[in-house]
Structure 1
Amino acid sequence: MAGRMEEDKVEYWLYPTESGLDGFSVLAKVWNLVEKSVQTYLWHQELFNLKLVEEKDGWCLQGGVVYGDSVEDEWMVVALLKYITSELHEISARVLDSDGEIILIEAADQVPRWAGEPALAEGRVFLYSGEVHLIPVCQTPGDVTPFPHGSPNPFSASRFIATYPHLTRADTSVQKVITSRIGRYPKEWSDNKHITTVLLPGILAALLHTHKQTVSDIVHALKDRDHIDARKTRSMPRIRPENQKQYSLTFPRCLYALLSSIKVKPHRSSGWKIEERSKPEVLGYQLSLGLEILLSRHRRGEEESVGEQSWERFREKLEDVGYFQGEMQGSVKYKHLAEQAQEFMKCSKEGSHHSRVDNIVKTVERFENGDLKEPSSGWLRPGGQDGDESWMEVTPESLDRMLAARFGVAQGGEENIPSELNSFLSKISDMAGVGDQDSVDLDPNNLISSMKKLLGEPDDHTFSDEDSDESDDDEEDPVIIDYMNRLDAEVSGLKGREDLPDQDKPLEVDTNVLSNLLASYSAELGFSGPASSLFNTLGINPGVKGEKS
């Protein structure tokens, strides 16, 4: 299916569940379903995309999105796939990221035991009819499945799921976990956006009004600037502080946090002057500098094309599914919808980022030539609306609450730590992790008997009186006697020797150790560290100093 996947990328495939389907027809249906959600959502780095791929077993729709630091983009993709399969029963979906089966990872506590093994679960997780489906493996000789082991052929697996959905539908607990994680995606994403007031020059306002996804390209260009960019953009030759107005601009939260972390100041030769305590001015200059960097890097290449024949087939299928809403070919709305569909196809090609930058440059040139006016209404609204930024401040208390809500960390005070720590330290650990000591059933007498047999000692229960008399005359080996005394003391808990440690006794927690652990936890200020990792492993939240449980 795919080789080694790059970091911070989610890849996905849509497979037909029946034969005889036309790939372009299904692609047109999919775009007609998700076009509004894809265009409305602000993506952190790359947009949702799909392309038709012909393979030896048939066709499939394939796509991939680099989500960078924004995990929410990854779950937006899962939500879109879940929605697509709920509306179109002729296809099923697979989704992976660099860690593997993202759905299984999220629902790790609810999936069957075999599904927790990556080697067994590979290629067996699908979305169909808006639900999670797991193709089972053979766990006993009596189990019957068309794919007993290994990763099944995705085309065959897709048809099997559609034919026998009752055999593959995952448990209700798995469905609830995935539905809860997706939340209101893909149609609603207000919890992942931030609105703030920004002072923008006319050229930048017009650009963001025309291509709102450009804000992502601008911020990432600013983040990745180097000394060459700094030298080229020092004087800001194209983005001048002219016709500046305040607008309310919408950001994805992760992108806004990234922009807020970047510190830049205008060079004295640029003609830009900003008040550093004015957030609208600072943000406006940062975005202007990011656009200047994009323009300075651009090298005009060949015109990106989606292929005339492919576009015509896709456009015809879009008309069949009602995508153009009955508009006459050549009308303003028809052209706008057609441009969006073409951009969707371009996004699926290699070098789609260069194509987006080409569009940015063309829009800037239109403004410079007087063909594009700054917005008076629409997506960019007049300034004055600022969202609450408290979500950017993470305190130890809020982090504990998030961890408890996300991972079920138990709440408790410091008085719970010694007993839990003692219990943890007294357990047996091996390559598989910490085991459960309660499950160990040890018979000391049987162990001693077995060890005697291994060492060549006769078993007490098989001796006759005659044998015992004969053995008493023999000289016993002092090394064996000392070894057996030690073994008796360890297994039976007898104090045969004063210098023999009791291996079964749980470790006592020194008050100094506990005090140092708590001090380390407080010093971490809510961030991940050794002490917080240990407490989370124990399922303990020590709270903050002075807090009562």
Structure 2
Amino acid sequence: MIACGLEMMYQQGRKEGVESRGSNMETYKDILETSGYFKGLLPGSIEYKRLMEFAEEYYRKSSLALRTSETTSAPVSRIDKILAMPHSADNFKQHKVPPSDDDSLLYGGESELNDALQVRQKEIDQYNAQLRKESKEPEGSGPSLSSANAFVEKVSSFEGAEVPKNRKLGEGEVDLDVDRFIKGMESVMKRYVPESRDGDTESEEQASSSDMEFDESDNEGDIMAPDGDNEDGEDGFSQSYSAALNRELKSTFVGRSFFYDGD
């Protein structure tokens, strides 16, 4: 097996040496073409071949080709010299073969490996158990959090989600501080209602007073209208219907847009 491997390495080195010389020649040819050495001649023509032969001869005699050949073929050359030396099997009998390496670790380490794996598995199980415990009972959790979790996890029926059973309130009782609730609502409303200016306040007061006067005039018109209609001899049903309609419309924007008799 070892001899076969050495033979493969030897042949591979010889092949690489030949290919390296060929690759170097290809690189040299590319340089000649880019520098205009072939003067635009077609590859394969007589003049092209003549110039190529002259360039190859020059390259083989150059110092670069010699150094490249020596470097790539040095390992193969040394092997050739070793193989060419005279040898005999008797020369190797005087040398003792060293003992084989101890390979007991390949067979005796199975139990140790299993023990180490079991210890590691226990560590992983403990870590996972601690992680699950922390996820179920977060730090800082209290009655409010457990109550919220119970409310969220509760499957609601058509009547809605039920109140958790562990609350201390009686049945039907609601713990609501009315005074605090009203004060909170007032504080919220004050935030969103802008303060009115003096001019706006006066205009609002005038508008409210005019509305009150207009409502009073509407009421008077509603009261007087039936009397006037009775004096004129109009039908009683139409009078009562008109009065009822006026009463329904007097508090609306549509009713305020009408003009009544006597306005």
Q: Same fold (TM over 0.5)?
A: no
Q: Which has the larger radius of gyration?
A: 2
For CA contacts below 8 A with separation 6 or more, give which structure has more relative contact order: 1
The structure whose residues are more often strand, as a share, is 1
The structure whose residues are more often helix, as a share, is 2
TM-score, normalization: structure 1? 0.11
TM-score, normalization: structure 2? 0.18
